[in-house]
Amino acid sequence: MKEYVIDANYMAEKELNRTIKEQAQHHDKLLIDNPESKHNICAGLTEEVDIEINGSAGYFVGTMVNGAKIHINGNAGWFAGDNMTKGELIIEGTAGDGAGQGIYGGTIIVKGNTGSRTGEIMKGGTVIIGGNSGFMTGLLMMGGKLIILGDVTDDVGESIMRGSIFVLGDVKSLGKNATMEKTTPEDISELKETLTEYGFQLTDKDYANFKKIVNIQ
């Protein structure tokens, strides 16, 4: 595997992204040191390359990526993975508002908590939150699967049209057009497959306790 290390310490955001795109054409893996919470890291990246960010990223990390696998050893700001079409974004820490906003495909995982509007207007793909999520989680959701292992606050699934939201913890309130229904054996099987693949260890009792939130038919 061909690796390349990028020290982002003194780079402007545009220079960093230009370097990422250039080096992604010639290497299998890029290591980004000293990201210093810069915004728009990997924005618009279309190469199928592994990216490891050693530190925290700012707003819109991984926005509009198509195929890259990004692993952040830190936190992320607002709108992580915004409009991703294909790929993977794993955040070891927390993320701000709008994680997974508008994604068409791929997988986004936040090991810690997220802010509000997680999975807003997502059309496909999978978003997994290991901790809690804020208000209007799944706002205007149009498709895909949103999995929350912690609690969610007010107005979950506000104006949801399609897709499914699964919550293991407490749901403070449902949003307009959202309803809660029983998970099916097929749902549980898919949850087990997905969560096990990404290293989440849950018991059979946990899987039985997932709540499913969908559009009112």
pLDDT tens-place string over residues 116-129: 999 999 999 999 99
Report yes or no on 178 lying in a domain.
yes
In the prediction, which pLDDT does 57 show?
98
* Cα–Cα distance list, 133 to 30, 71, 82, 91, 99 (Å): 30, 20, 17, 14, 10
Rounded Cα–Cα distance for residues 180 and 201 (Å): 24
Give the pLDDT of residue 217.
79
Q: What is the residue-wise DSSP string for 71-88?
A: EESS-B-TTTTTT--EEE
- Does 122 reside within a domain? no
The answer to whether residues 79 and 147 belong to one domain is no
Number of domains, the chain = 2
As given in the structure block, the two tokens for residue 46 are: 């279309």
Total number of residues shown for the chain: 217
Pair (82, 134) in one structural domain: no
Give the residue carrying structure tokens 């980004």.
32
d(CA 152, CA 55): 27
Look at residue 1 in the predicted model and tell me its pLDDT.
Answer: 73
Q: Is residue 61 part of a domain?
A: yes
Within-domain flag for 181? yes
Same domain, 134 and 216: yes
Residues lower than pLDDT 70 in the chain:
none
Instruction: Looking at the structure, tell me whether residues 89 and 139 fall in a common domain.
Output: no
Distance CA 145, CA 208 (A): 17
The pTM (predicted TM-score) of the whole model is 0.97
Q: HSE of 9 in the Cβ direction (CA atoms, 13 Å)?
A: 3
The verdict on 67 and 137 lying in the same domain is: no
Q: Is residue 172 part of a domain?
A: yes
In a domain, 65, yes or no: yes
- Its domain, for residue 55, covers 1-93
